[in-house]
Chains A and B, each alone.
Chain A
Amino acid sequence: DSGVTQTPKHLITATGQRVTLRCSPRSGDLSVYWYQQSLDQGLQFLIQYYNGEERAKGNILERFSAQQFPDLHSELNLSSLELGDSALYFCASSVADQETQYFGPGTRLLVL
């Protein structure tokens, strides 16, 4: 158990819908990262927040957005969902700007 929690574990929805994925970092970690794992793209970095501020953006679609709240939990919002958005979404956290990221168990999203 890494100490990073993600909810829900599984999510099934339809095309065109919007979902919110939630992540709680390890106690004391200020930085949160979101990754997408799919069969065709592998593990891809989406976005990173540090203490409430966006720090880096990766291959994140405009239909996706994220935020980090004052209590440091983070949410990833996915809208206008397409079949290709079906994937495993991971959250990771790290202490400030240190290098080691600890991953949560992931949220498996299935878009039908």
Chain B
Amino acid sequence: AQSVTQLDSQVPVFEEAPVELRCNYSSSVSVYLFWYVQYPNQGLQLLLKYLSGSTLVKGINGFEAEFNKSQTSFHLRKPSVHISDTAEYFCAVGGTGFQKLVFGTGTRLLVSP
């Protein structure tokens, strides 16, 4: 079975500061890893994904994540956040062949001026 742990339920940060949202996963098989963002009253938007290859993955809006197999982590980072980055961020794990996505509980990023 697969599972995802997002260690922080809420991360407050000031505008232009760097941020890291943590995600750890558990799986007995090869995984694909995803970060989705949910803005208030909206659906889920794909930020980035790791399928294979380079462990550093770049996504939209200046976000990046690093896959660390030994630590079973896929932390999301941004060097300088904007007010508009305020949203809920979900880490998810999937697998090959019609695999459902298993989501973490989400991390609310609160960016203040």
Contact = CB atoms under 8 A, between A and B. Distances in A.
A56 interface: yes
Contacts of B34: 100
B94 A101 contact: yes
A39 B96 CA distance: 29
A35 B44 CA distance: 11
Interface in B23-74: 32, 34, 36, 42-46, 49, 51
Say which size band chain A's interface belongs to: 20 to 34
A106 B36 CA distance: 14
Given A43-B90, A45-B102, A99 B44 contact: no
B30 to A, nearest CB: 11
Contact of A42 (B32, B46, B96, B105): B105
Chain B binding site: helix, strand, loop or mixed by DSSP? Answer: loop
A103 B101 CA distance: 12
B103 interface: yes
A106 B106 contact: no
B84 interface: no
Contact of B36 (A48, A58, A99, A103): A103
A56 B32 contact: no
Nearest to A99: B32
A101 B43 contact: no
A31 interface: yes
B105 A103 contact: no
Interface of A: 2, 31, 33, 35, 42-45, 48, 50, 55-56, 58, 90, 92, 97, 99-106
